[in-house]
């Protein structure tokens, strides 16, 4: 696990040389990062954006929809027992896990209380069900698609159908 965590941290720093995320970094205070298949790549892109915003002194909420411990390990998140938020060792960074228990209520809390955060970035796991995916897309203005180069076009088309409003898509990142 420790070796995987180091690899993940190294990829966070090296990927910034490979992709240009100016659109995603600009003035998007609610951003959805999704990928139908490129879990690892999506996580690296998300972490890269989080680090960028933290370096700009932004207060960031990372919403994770999967069960992975990647972010918890990479950013040193610890959960307060009385709160739904995980607090990072980095003062401006918080995380919330969105699971199948009351997802609609949690989503309302996230987006209604977004005034407390400068940036909200939602990392969409590829196994998130269609209903929750649609709820998330309805609450954001900006979607960043991440995929593998020459990836599964059928899965990408399915995800595009779920997004429906293509004007929300601010960028498309394809990684080898």
The residue extents of the domains of the chain are 2-175
Phi then psi for residue 146, to 5 deg, are -125, 135
As beta bridge partners, residue 172 has: 145
Rounded to 5 degrees, what are φ and ψ at 68? -70, 150
pLDDT, tens digit (0-9, with 9 covering 90-100), for 104-132: 677 777 666 655 788 888 887 767 777 77
Question: What proportion of the chain, given as a percentage, has pLDDT over 70?
Answer: 70
Please answer whether residues 93 and 60 qualify as being in contact, where contact means their C-beta atoms are separated by less than 8 angstroms: yes
Find tokens 């960074």 and name the residue. Answer: 93
- With respect to CATH, is domain 2-175 assigned 3.40.50.300? yes
Residues 107-142: b if buried by 16+ CB within 10 A, e if exposed: beebbeeeeebebbbbbbbbebeeebbebbbebbeb
* Interatomic CA distance for residues 128 and 125, integer angstroms: 6
**C-beta separation of 95 from 86 below 8 A:** yes
pTM: 0.74
Q: What is the dihedral of CA 42, 44, 47, 49, to 10 degrees?
A: -70
Two tokens at 9?
A: 């941290």
Residue 43 has pLDDT above 70, yes or no: yes
Render pLDDT for 64-88 as a digit per residue (tens, 0 to 9). Answer: 877 777 777 778 888 777 667 788 8
**CA distances (Å), 144 to each of 63, 73, 140, 174, in order?**
15, 24, 11, 11
What pLDDT score was predicted for residue 24?
Answer: 60
Q: How far apart are CA 46 and CA 65, in angstroms?
A: 13
């Amino acid at each position: 696990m420790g070796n995987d965590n180091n690899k993940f941290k190294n990829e966070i720093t090296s990927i910034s040389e490979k992709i240009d995320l100016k659109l995603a970094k600009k003035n998007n205070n609610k951003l959805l990062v999704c990928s139908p298949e490129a879990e690892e790549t999506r996580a690296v892109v998300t972490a890269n954006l989080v680090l960028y915003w933290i370096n700009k002194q932004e207060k960031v909420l990372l919403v994770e929809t999967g069960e992975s411990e990647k972010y918890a390990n990479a950013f040193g998140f610890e959960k307060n027992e009385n709160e739904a938020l995980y607090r990072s060792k980095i003062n401006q960074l918080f995380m919330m896990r969105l699971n199948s228990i009351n997802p609609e209520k949690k989503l309302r809390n996230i987006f209604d209380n977004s005034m407390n955060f400068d940036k909200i970035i939602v990392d969409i796991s590829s196994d998130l069900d269609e209903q929750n995916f649609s709820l998330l897309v309805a609450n954001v203005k900006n979607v960043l698609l991440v995929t593998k180069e020459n990836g599964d076009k059928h899965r990408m088309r399915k995800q595009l159908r779920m997004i429906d409003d293509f004007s929300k898509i601010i960028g498309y990142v394809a990684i080898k």
